[in-house]
Amino acid sequence: MRAPSTAPAAGAEPPRDCPLCPRLAGFRAHWRAQEPGWHNAPVPSFGPSDARLLIVGLAPGLRGANRTGRPFTGDYAGELLYQTLLDFGFATGRFEARPDDSLVLTQARITNAVRCVPPENKPTTDEMKTCRPFLSGTLAALPRLAAVVALGKIAHDQVVAAHGLRLSHYKFAHGARHALGPITLFDSYHCSRYNTNTGVLTPEMFRAVFASVRRFLDTGV
């Protein structure tokens, strides 16, 4: 069996000093000066290039992926996401919130709709649009891709737009499922601490989405 590769495909990964969003490049520079030991750069996708599932988040958290360099690693959102991926057979090993832990993704790849950390976790509409070609490149670089999980409405909108489809025809709703050509898009509320603390998203609600994805990938239903 061919070993999974984590090498990015051309067009899927921005350069470390990507200048396309001046506000975000400035924010990165600020944090490089403040915290030179942090990643402070576009966060690359994580997971095998033969993945059948792509999980799309919003953007790196300042002290999470922006610090560690791995999506959903180092802040609360990763705790729920990676435990769920382990439970549903999309990962092996042990998640310890650091990039050199033993966690390995199997069949799943994780990316963000916006690759650089935005101030207050809020990218602008222009920044989302500017970063979208890297999401398109990520989608195009997964030849076995069958399912996408969008974590939150922004990720959902970015995935729909990356397919050249009209947002008005594909409404975000937790638990919704949309056919985007050969790919099926599954929507979930984002697994942020805010959403889980306020009860917007419970672990059971999150698990139900991944149970549907698992069933879809295993049986086509």
Closest to ligand SF4 by CB, 174 vs 190, is 190
Closest to ligand SF4 by CB, 114 vs 217, is 114
User: By CB under 6 A, is residue 14 in contact with ligand SF4?
Assistant: yes
Out of 105, 113, 116, 161, the only residue in the binding site for ligand SF4 (CB under 6 A) is 116
Total chain residues near ligand SF4 (CB under 6 A): 14
Dihedral-angle region of residue 67 (phi above 0 means left; psi in -120 to 50 means alpha; beta otherwise): alpha
User: By CB under 6 A, is residue 64 in contact with ligand SF4?
Assistant: no
User: By CB under 6 A, is residue 187 in contact with ligand SF4?
Assistant: no
Of 133, 194, 157, give the one whose Cα is nearest residue 9. 133
The span from the CA of 75 to the CA of 93, in Å, is: 19
User: By CB under 6 A, is residue 24 in contact with ligand SF4?
Assistant: yes
For residues 80, 82, 84, 86, the Cα torsion angle rounded to the nearest 10 degrees is -150
Q: Answer for the pair 66, 118: CB distance below 8 angstroms, yes or no.
A: no
Interface residues with ligand SF4 (CB under 6 A) are 14, 18, 20-21, 24-25, 42, 114-116, 127, 130-131, 134
